[in-house]
Amino acid sequence: MLLRGAIVVVVPALLLLAFWLWTPDKPRSELQARYLAAPGDLVPVGPWRLHVRDSGPKGAPAVLMLHGFGGSLHSWEVWAQALSTSHRVIRFDLPGHGLSEPDPAGDYTDARSIQLTLALMDQLGVARASIVGHSIGGRIAWTFAARHPGRTDRLVLVAPDGFASPGFAYGRATEVPAVLGLMRHVLPKAVLRMNLEPAYANPQSLTDELTTRYHDLMLAPGARDAMFKRLQQTVLTDPRPLLGAINAPTLLVWGEADAMIPVANAQDYLRALKNSRLVTFPAVGHLPQEEAAQASLGAVRDFLR
């Protein structure tokens, strides 16, 4: 009787808890109404449908921006607006991020991302560009520069990913905890905020507005599944041979309080890249382009000149 009574009490409680935590997708139309600047920014590129913002003079030197995991083209807002006065700035949401639809083939490898980047540049008539990448976008950026030097002018790497770390060994699929799979069904904004907080050195930098934007865009149809697959499909290789092949001038941008990819990792890149230099920012975390937007912009603008 006690067991039966416990079941009668616990099961409904668990169902109520699951119902309370369950986080459904948001309608794409609702997200576009909130975060799409113009209908023309939704661009078909080969098999993909991408969210792209192309600003600045079309004849100016091009800058292509690649955001990090869970991010979107919005993270470059301050840099993009300022650089658009002197450059053609192209930024886009990777498939399954922001307002870009998931990859139709379910392929989220770096090779696929580079194929997509080339297709976008070709479609926009961009022969060469300076490539700016953050975190995994940085890994895609330096791989692009190594494999396509004729399409790369300069390289800006913001806390780039690529070297092995706990859970990310060379030659093996990434160890993705099974519990992360739950995020495809359960992602309350408070939980997301707890996961975002370590990326910022100053808690005040993670505003309610910023948290809401990250949360909204992660609830785009198919976005959470795409992010989970991107992690599953990540297989790192020793980056030093590719980095050693890069001749493009490279600027490394890092927050000194980065808790995601420590600034100490910059020394690995400085040793591997022939023509590189580092600029760091005290009391700044993993997203200098957001947390120290104006300070970091100055260094990037001077470098791109």
pLDDT at residue 183 in the model: 81
Give the whole-angstrom CA distance, residue 106 versus residue 108: 6
Question: Are 43 and 50 within 8 A, CB to CB?
Answer: yes
Task: Specify whether the CB–CB gap between 169 and 236 falls below 8 A.
Answer: yes
Distance (Å, whole) CA 17 – CA 186: 11
Q: What is the pLDDT of residue 107?
A: 98
- When pLDDT is cut at 50, 70 and 90, the band that residue 111 belongs to is very high
Whole-number pLDDT of residue 245 = 97
Using the predicted structure, report yes or no on whether residue 6 has a pLDDT greater than 80.
no
Give Cα 37 to chain centroid, integer Å.
Answer: 19
DSSP state of 278: E
pLDDT digits (tens, 9 = 90+) for 197-207: 999 999 999 99
Domains parsed from the chain with CATH numbers: 27-304 (3.40.50.1820)
pTM for the structure as a whole: 0.92
Give per-residue pLDDT as tens, 227-274.
Answer: 999 999 999 999 999 999 999 999 999 999 999 999 999 999 999 999
Q: Cα–Cα distance between 51 and 36 in angstroms, integer?
A: 8
| Number of residues in the chain | 305
Average pLDDT for the chain: 92
Instruction: Report pLDDT for 20.
Output: 55
Q: What is the DSSP string of 125-161?
A: T-S-EEEEEETHHHHHHHHHHHH-GGGEEEEEEES--
Cβ-proximal residues to 58 (8 Å cutoff; 6+ apart), any chain: 88
- Per-residue pLDDT tens for 40-71? 999 999 999 999 999 999 999 999 999 999 99
Tokens 């991408």 label which residue?
50
Q: In a 10 Å sphere around its CB, with 0-12 CB exposed, 13-18 middle and 19+ buried, how is residue 18 labelled?
A: exposed
Q: What digits encode the pLDDT tens for the residues 161-194?
A: 999 887 778 888 877 777 677 788 889 999 999 9
β 152-158/276-281 pair status: unpaired
Query: What pLDDT score was predicted for residue 2?
Result: 29
Close Cβ partners of 140 (under 8 Å, ≥ 6 residues apart): 66, 110, 113, 114, 117, 133
Q: Assign residue 203 a region (left: φ > 0; alpha: ψ between -120 and 50; beta: otherwise).
A: alpha
Provide the 8-state DSSP code for 165.
B
pLDDT more than 70, % of the chain? 93
Distance CA 230, CA 106 (A): 9
